[in-house]
A and B are shown apart, each in its own frame.
Chain A
Amino acid sequence: MPMTLPILPTAIVGSYAMPGWLERLKTDYFARRISRHDLDEIYDAAVKAAIKDQETSGLDIITDGELRRDNMVDYFAERLPGVQIDRSSKKFYYDFYDSAVVSKLPMASMGLVQDFNFLHTYTEHAAKFCVTGPHCLTKRIRNQFYPSEEAFATDIARVMNLELKALVKAGATLIQIDEPYYSGFPEDLAWGVNVINTLVEGVDAKISVHICYGNRYGKPSWEGSYRYLFPTILKAKVHQLTLEFARRGGEDLDLFKEFNAPFDLGLGVIDVKNTDIETPDMVAEHIRKALDVLPAERIQILTDCGCFHLPRDVTFAKMKAMVEGTKIVRKELGK
């Protein structure tokens, strides 16, 4: 049964704060000091805690915090059938594996449904499931088979399309695709959008594409303007664009008006690259600026990007500020 969300629903983009103790245990696993079974139990406990924190802070949409993922690439690279992984290639969990595709990707399950089911079991709130997009994956998995990055990405999209449909079948209604590398490789955008359309074809859920300027190690990988997205992005068959505005300021909001963009907006109001905690008033001000461009019914209130690199207490305080700031605006709107 579809969940009814309030106006200006709040959520984190995807990842929750990675506790230092979990980082050490992940690294212990790579050093063969703990077993996979123990690590999975630790993950279950950590995800439950992340869910509880999001609920307690008052968020409307909950994620699993992506705490089972070493980083945004390896979790998917390990699950993509046909991708070869050199498991000795990293000693710290957050490093990227040296991974490569050496033959055509076969169509097979990636096993993401299990993680969604866990989330669904432990929250009664609306649940969002996030996946790393094909464009991003092609930038980190060495292509030793396909004639082009586009061909490789298109095949990843075909495999992942099956997975997204399986997620919908399991009850997923909110799916987010993360494509941070668009901002570093704007020249790829035209084929990147085609790949997104392949990925979401026939997927009956509210689809959002998250595009930021990178958040590796909690730092931007590039700088610039979202102007590069337009008008090409208008061809994307998705419902929402989720963009970072808290850190970068709201200048690019006007692009939505200028290009009459048909998308809803995932509005980043919390800077995840800075441990300073926003006040509710600062959050409210960001939202008011967005309301000059779009009606409230088309806006979700989000963090700029994942909270992976923030301390847990800071993340929790930022979420609370986001919730309180949103309440201020809802009240102003009489909602």
Chain B
Amino acid sequence: MILKLNHLKVKAAATTQRVIEAVYALVEEGLIDQGQFARLQVELDWIQYKSNFREGVTATQGYKAFGQPAPIMDVHIDTRQVVLETLREDLLCALNRAKSGSEQDAGRLPLEEFQSLRSSIVWTFNRFFWRHLLAWEAATGQGYDKALPGGSSDGHNPLAVADDVAEFLDLLCALQTKNQLPAEVNLLEIGVGSGSRCAQWLNLFHQLDQQRGTGLYSRVCFYMGDYSLDTLNKAKPNVAKHIDQCRFIQLDAINPIKSLPHLRHKILQVHLTNVYDNLPDEEVVRRDGKLYFVQVRAYVPDAAVNSLGGKYGIPPELFRDRVYHMLESGFDSFGGPEHGVPFWQELWAAVRLEERLVQLEDLPEFPFPEGLDAGKLEDILQDAPTDFRFHLSSGALESFIRTLPLLHPSGYMQVFDIFVTDMAQYRTGFFGPGKLDGSLLNWVNGALLKEVAQREGYNVNFRPFKYRANTHTSILYTTRRE
């Protein structure tokens, strides 16, 4: 058995001892055989998200492509929520459940079949959250920003905005000196929120432009891009002072260039804050020289089905249909948001993900996100740990790759987000998925983005977000490379 302790929390030491004792007890009792014991990998994580998709103890079986069990079995123990008193029973239950068979669904209501995390229903919940954000905020009595670490978006940080404005104006002046400054100075922000960052940015740029006498403000075209027209409309009043400089574009964060083909190679700055961590993702496990794809299945524990069903008058046999109906049609079947939102919030809190690992036996045919293929992944993994689990960050990668062609040769792109900047970092903790209010979030595999971008002709580096103490946010900064 391999035991991996992925964090340094104090509670872990005591838990580790108890885990070993529990596994040995199960071996001695004949409930785990020698072969199973030999291929067992037990990982202890401290899941930083108070709300997440895991039980305290889970087990994940590996499979070959056509369904036969592969000789690997992972056990995950969340040292934050594990109950030591029931550890032995929880462990035995998880191991039994992971073996394929009729007991797999016992005690839980699956909401879907096993599939990629990227296409899981949990992302439908995520989209539902953004569509009904106002209803959620009304129910909780606070804005979404308040749920963020620090209580507000890092994109609005005044010092960060001021530094960026100064750097950008320096860039414009340098281009002007070489007669290479375009007539239109294009910027793009993807995911505009309330429009506060754009407003701050333009205020400061206008001031600095006047102070320096550079006369460039009138040439600025600030493209505000968001998938939601409602969001764009809400942002407009906040940038009213600069309305002549602003352009409002409805775009899909996963494919910005589709909406902006006329701006290919013409944007001098692209900015995103906390967009990538909320884009659909999937995970891969590397074990014993083989790659396994993590398939997930969302479920609701029977206890929650019964409790919510009783409270909201939903028979267990209709529970799944009501969930789907809500996600498709809103709260009508609950008589409106008044009852629908509390059901949604309690349901979301109860939703869990079970996992299985499916060996990638035909890697070249795997549907990789744009920008990645089997050859590139193998190259990238050459210097990575031999046994680890990592994000493909599919949504973030596709967004990144489909944004980069917009960059002017002298332009730059900055992304404020939570990045894993080195593949080896994956061995030091749990990096999602977690829940943030009604949305999903994942750390972003910045190391992967960096390698892929380099092959596409861009330099990527990561800067610490120096404007807030104890933050996990870092800044991905990208420019063209030769």
Contacts and interface: CB of A to CB of B under 8 A. Distances in A.
A216 B458 CA distance: 10
B480 interface: yes
A176 B480 CA distance: 27
B405 A219 contact: yes
Given A92-B379, A214-B409, A274-B264, A223 B180 contact: yes
B409 A221 contact: yes
Interface in A214-258: 214, 216-224, 228
Interface string B270-306: 0000000000000000000000000000000000000
Contacts of B379: 27, 91-92
B375 A217 contact: no
B255 to A, nearest CB: 14
Interface string B442-463: 0000000000001111100000
B409 A96 contact: no
B180 A219 contact: no
A50 to B, nearest CB: 21
Contact of B457 (A213, A216, A228, A274): A216
A219 B409 CA distance: 8
Interface in A263-278: 273-274
Nearest to A221: B409
Contacts of A221: 409, 480, 482
A219 B375 contact: no
B264 A223 contact: no
Interface in A160-191: 186
Given A92-B379, A214-B409, A220 B265 contact: yes
Contacts of B409: 213-214, 219-223
A273 B265 contact: yes
Contacts of A289: none
A206 interface: no
A81 B458 CA distance: 31
B265 A218 contact: no
Interface string B100-122: 00000000000000000000000
Contact of B482 (A27, A213, A216, A218): A216
Contacts of B237: none
Interface in B193-218: none
Contacts of A27: 375, 379
Interface string A1-40: 0000000000000000000100110010000000000000
Nearest to B482: A216
B17 interface: no
A219 B455 contact: no
Interface in B379-416: 379, 405, 408-410
A222 B265 contact: no
B261 to A, nearest CB: 8
B342 to A, nearest CB: 50
Query: Which of B265, B373, B456 has the largest number of chain A CB atoms within 10 A?
Result: B265
Contacts of A213: 409
A222 B457 contact: no
B482 A92 contact: no
Contacts of B375: 20, 23-24, 27
A218 B457 contact: yes
B265 A92 contact: no
Nearest to A222: B409
Contacts of A224: 179-180
Contact of A223 (B182, B373, B405, B455): B182
A217 B480 CA distance: 9
A119 B373 CA distance: 32
B184 to A, nearest CB: 12
Contacts of B458: 217
Contacts of B178: 186
A20 B376 CA distance: 11
Nearest to A218: B457
A219 B179 contact: no
Interface string B168-197: 000000000011101000000000000000
A92 B408 CA distance: 25
Nearest to A28: B375
Contacts of A216: 457, 481-482
B408 A219 contact: no
A42 to B, nearest CB: 16
A298 B264 CA distance: 32
A274 B257 CA distance: 12
A245 B409 CA distance: 17
B296 to A, nearest CB: 31
A220 B409 CA distance: 6
Contacts of B180: 222-224
Contacts of A24: 375
B266 to A, nearest CB: 8
A312 B467 CA distance: 47
Nearest to B373: A20
Contacts of B457: 216-219
Contacts of A23: 375
Query: Which of A94, A224, A274 has the largest number of chain B CB atoms within 10 A?
Result: A224
A80 to B, nearest CB: 19
A225 to B, nearest CB: 8
A224 B455 CA distance: 26
Contacts of A228: 179
A312 to B, nearest CB: 16
A218 B265 CA distance: 11
Interface in A136-151: 140
B482 A223 contact: no
A152 B179 CA distance: 27
A24 B482 CA distance: 20
A214 B481 CA distance: 12
Contacts of B373: 20
A214 B182 CA distance: 17
Interface in A43-60: none
A203 to B, nearest CB: 29
A214 B265 CA distance: 12
Interface in A84-113: 91-92, 94, 96
B64 to A, nearest CB: 26
Interface string B350-392: 0000000000000000000000010100010000000000000
B482 A219 contact: no
A60 B350 CA distance: 68
A222 B180 CA distance: 8
A216 B379 CA distance: 21
Contacts of A96: 482
A321 to B, nearest CB: 19
A276 to B, nearest CB: 8
For the complex of A and B, list the 7 residue pairs with the smallest distance between their C-beta atoms, beginning with the closest: A217-B457, A24-B375, A224-B180, A220-B409, A221-B409, A222-B409, A220-B265
Given A213-B409, A221-B409, 8 more contacts: A20-B373, A23-B375, A27-B375, A140-B482, A214-B409, A216-B482, A223-B410, A224-B180
9 contacts: A20-B375, A91-B379, A92-B379, A92-B454, A217-B456, A222-B409, A223-B265, A273-B265, A274-B264
Interface of A: 20, 23-24, 27, 91-92, 94, 96, 140, 186, 213-214, 216-224, 228, 273-274
